[in-house]
Structure 1
Amino acid sequence: MQTTLDGITVHEVPTDRLRANVIERPASGVPRRTVVLIHGNVSSSLFFQPLMLALPADVRALAIDLRGFGDSETLPVDASRGLRDFSDDVAGVLDALGTGPVRILGWSMGAGVVLQLLLDRPDLVDSVILESPVSPFGFGGTRPDGTILNGGAGSGGGAVNAAFVAAVEAQDTGDGPSSPRTVYRTTYVKTPDPDHEDLWVESMLTTKTGLDNYPGDSTPSESWPGFAPGTRGVLNTMAPTNLDLTGIVDIPNKPQIVWIRGEDDAIVSDATYFDFNMLGKAGVVPGWPGEDAAPPQPMVTQTRAVLDRYAAAGGAYEEIALADCGHSPHLEFPEVVLRVLV
Structure 2
Amino acid sequence: MGSHLRFYEAGEVIFHQGETSDCAYVIEHGKVDIFIEDESLDTLVVGDLFGEMGVLDQKPRSTSARALTQVALLKVKTNQITERLQGSDPIVKALVRVLLKRFRSLLSNDTSLDSDVLFSEVESVIEDAGLTKIKLESELRTAIGNQQIETVYQPINDIATGDIAGFEALSRWEHPDKGVISPFEFITLAEETDLIVDVGRLVFERACQVLSRLPEHYFININVSPKQLDNDLFLQHVVNLMKQNGVAPSRLKLEITETMVVDFEQANEWIHKCKALGFPICADDFGTGHSGMQQLVELDFDVLKVDQVFIRNMFENKKYATVLQSIARIGTDLGMKLVAEGVEEKEQYQSLKLLGFDYGQGYYFGRPMSESDVLKLTEK
TM surpasses 0.5: no
Would you tell me which structure has more helix in proportion to its own residues?
2
Computing the radius of gyration from Cα coordinates, the structure with the larger value is 2
Would you tell me which structure has more strand in proportion to its own residues?
2
Select the structure with the greater relative contact order (CA < 8 A; seq sep ≥ 6): 1
TM-score by length of 2: 0.25
